[in-house]
Amino acid sequence: MVSVLLVAAVVGIALGVFLQKGRFCFVNAFRDFFAYKDSRVTKGVLAATLLTMVFWGIAYQFGYYQEFWTPEWGLTGFIGGFIFGIGMTYAGGCASGTLYRAGEGYLQFWLTLLFMGVGYVAFALAFPTLDSTYFETFTFGEGVSLFTVSEIPASVLALSIAIGGLLIYVTLVGRSATTADLSERSDTAQLNLTAFLAPVAGLRQFVRGTETYFRGLVGAWRDPLASSKQPWDPRTAALGITAAAVLWFTQASIVGVTGPEARWSGYLLSQVGVDVESYEYWGSVLFQGEGVDVTVDMVMIAFVIVGAFLAAAWSGDFSVRVPKRRRLPNAVFGGLLMGAGSRLAPGCNIGNIYSGIASLSVHSFIAALGIIAGVYVMTHWIYREVGCAL
Amino acid sequence: MPSIDDVTDTPDELSDDQAEDLLEDADLVQDMMGEVCPYPQVEAKKGLQQIDSGDLLVQETDHVPCTENVPRAVGDDADATVWRSGDATYRIYLRKR
């Protein structure tokens, strides 16, 4: 038990540090891509998810794993994900982003956390009704990970998907780089050739970019103290998060945020005398009949806040930040929608976009689409006066 | 020698003196303390619509990601530099093109 707690502390602190230093936020990743085509954090999120998928696939194939995230699949993922996506964009931070910003000293995000808690409690109270209406109506099949049903060895499957994803990415990059030439030339033979060359051009650009990145990383090591105080590339955060997630996957579980948070809400209520265990959602779903107590994943996410605090304090980014009064609705309603949405899905941006897709869980593909759709709609609303690029 | 700045894609940083001098010249100063993304981005875009070409917009913020997100959000509309106090407050200087 002590060793698992130690792993929880190490993983939590590492995640907090990398999230804070890379400003690794899923709202940022999608919102800024939709608003003005800024894809730096989007690339970090994609890299972290695909890399984690490869390593988890390998770990699964050789039996070094604890579990995948595979809830029953259906429209619940899309509806809950959509509500969660709206909420996280309005709040200004995703489930993991809220944690690391809480560690940086944002009172606004402590308030968001509080109202996410209210969302969890409201959901737990309404669960018996929701179970027979919402979940029964919108669930279509048993939860499944493609890793477990595929004939292809998990490591090969994961690698092929990652390589496929990379090829699509470099083709898109290559095409946007070659369209400039295209407009100047009009013969069709040239057009066909360019279609062929796009992946090659894109791949070359990708290799160059990666090389520059690693050279920069090596350069940064020459003065590690100064570099550690600078902001880090989201790709560095992606590498660090992947390492922490692989350790967590082999020792404890998938990385989740809102599940453990919902357990925290039940645990804290039990400490003030509420008979939490008698509620079906907490008793049999979240704590699985094993009694309301602090579990290792609850410890792990608490350490994310600690890690973010340490990283922020070290970089001179920590301060107690008081929100403007006009931002309080963002924390209150954003938090409520995140809490409720993450339970209706179930799963947040980490459970469904990061861990869920890395688990190749059918449920999470649908939920991720719902979350991204929610961010898209909300981004257009927030940017309504100045316009979005997409 | 490559540095971390080659890969983090952050705007150039101003020294304390430059930051003070430029602030005195600012045509529009937006107080974004306590605000988090994306509102500073939206306000920066709105602010740039109000000022003339060559004018300077300064945002004061305590939100770390803004120092990168705001310059990216305004894109080609302005040239951006930032000032970091080292104590969790930042200023973003946007010179309208």
Write out pLDDT tens, residues A18-34.
999 999 999 999 999 99
What phi and psi values does residue A73 have, to the nearest 5 degrees? -105, 155
> 3-class SS at A186?
coil
Report the gap between the CA of A373 and the closest CA in chain B (Å). 17
Report the gap between the CA of A335 and the closest CA in chain B (Å). 15
Element (DSSP H or E) covering residue B40 = helix B39-50
Chain B's closest residue to A211, CA to CA, is B7
Report the gap between the CA of B2 and the closest CA in chain A (Å). 5
Which of these, A330, A307, A302, lies nearest to A104 by C-alpha position? Answer: A307
CA trace torsion A244, A247, A250, A254 (10° rounding): -10
- CB within 8 Å of chain A, chain B residues 48-77: 49, 62-65, 67-69, 72-73, 75
**Distance, first Cα to last Cα, chain A:** 49
- According to DSSP H, which parts of chain A are helical? 2-21, 26-36, 40-61, 75-91, 95-104, 107-130, 136-138, 146-149, 154-184, 188-222, 224-229, 234-251, 258-271, 280, 296-315, 328-344, 356-358, 362-382
Chain B's closest residue to A227, CA to CA, is B4
Chain B's closest residue to A98, CA to CA, is B36
CB neighbours (10 Å) of residue A195?
Answer: 14
Report the gap between the CA of B67 and the closest CA in chain A (Å). 10
Size of interface A-B (CB pairs under 8 A): 117
The string over A332-346, giving b where at least 16 C-beta atoms fall within 10 Å of a residue's C-beta and e elsewhere, is: bbbbbbbbbbbbbbb
Which of these, A352, A301, A347, A358, lies nearest to A100 by C-alpha position? Answer: A301
Report the gap between the CA of A324 and the closest CA in chain B (Å). 6
Strand bridging mode A139-141 / B78-84: unpaired
Cross-chain CB nearest to A216 (options B7, B49, B87)? B7
Q: Which residues of A touch B45 (CB under 8 A)?
A: 386
Report the gap between the CA of A26 and the closest CA in chain B (Å). 12
Residue type at A98 in one-letter notation: T
Domain borders along chain B are 16-96
pLDDT, one tens digit for every residue, chain B (97 residues): 445 555 556 788 898 999 999 999 899 999 999 898 899 999 999 999 999 999 999 999 999 889 989 999 998 899 999 998 888 899 999 999 9
Q: What is the C-alpha separation between A271 and A276, in angstroms, rounded? A: 9
Q: What is the C-alpha separation between A334 and A330, in angstroms, rounded? A: 5
Cβ-based neighbours of A83, under 8 Å, separated by 6 or more: A337, A340, A341, A344, A345, A374
CB distance A220–B87 less than 8 Å?
Answer: no
State the DSSP string of A61-86.
Answer: HTT-------PPEEHHHHHHHHHHHH
Q: Which residues of A touch B89 (CB under 8 A)?
A: 319
CB distance B7–A38 less than 8 Å?
Answer: no
CB distance A219–B9 less than 8 Å?
Answer: no
pLDDT, one tens digit for every residue, chain A (390 residues): 678 999 999 999 999 999 999 999 999 999 999 999 988 899 889 999 999 999 999 999 999 888 899 999 999 999 999 999 999 999 999 999 999 999 999 999 999 999 999 999 999 999 999 999 999 999 999 999 999 999 999 999 999 999 999 999 999 888 877 665 555 555 555 556 666 788 898 899 899 989 999 998 898 889 899 889 888 988 999 999 999 999 999 999 999 999 999 999 999 999 999 999 999 999 999 999 899 999 999 999 999 999 999 999 999 999 999 999 999 999 999 999 999 999 999 999 999 999 999 999 999 999 999 999 999 999 999 999 888 888
Q: What is the C-alpha separation between A215 and A113, in angstroms, rounded? A: 39
Q: Which residues of B touch A322 (CB under 8 A)?
A: 34
Q: What is the C-alpha separation between A162 and A140, in angstroms, rounded? A: 28
Residue type at A251 in one-letter notation: Q
Report the gap between the CA of A316 and the closest CA in chain B (Å). 5
Q: What is the C-alpha separation between A105 and A61, in angstroms, rounded? A: 41
Q: Which residues of B touch A105 (CB under 8 A)?
A: 88
Distances (CA, A) of B12 to A38, A236, A289, B5: 18, 21, 56, 9
Question: How much helix, strand and coil, in percent to the nearest 5, is found in chain B?
Answer: 40, 30, 35
How long, in residues, is chain A? 390
Residue B22 Cα to chain centre, angstroms: 12
Cross-chain CB nearest to B34 (options A217, A231, A322)? A322
Mutation to test the A interface, candidates B13, B30, B43, B64, most A Cβ within 10 Å: B64
Cross-chain CB nearest to B2 (options A28, A219, A383)? A219
CB distance A35–B37 less than 8 Å?
Answer: no
Q: Which residues of B touch A327 (CB under 8 A)?
A: 34-36, 39
Specify whether the CB–CB gap between A51 and A147 falls below 8 A. no
CA atoms within 13 A on the CB side of A252: 26
* CATH of B16-96 given 3.30.70.1350, 2.60.200.30, 2.60.260.20, 3.30.110.40: 3.30.110.40
Q: What is the pLDDT of residues A64-103, one digit of tens each?
A: 888 899 999 999 999 999 999 999 999 999 999 999 999 9
> 3-class SS at B52?
coil
How long, in residues, is chain B? 97
CB distance A38–B42 less than 8 Å?
Answer: no
Cβ-based neighbours of B11, under 8 Å, separated by 6 or more: B67, B68, B71, B80, B81, B82, B92
* ipTM of the shown complex: 0.87
Q: Which two tokens stand for residue A25?
A: 């936020």
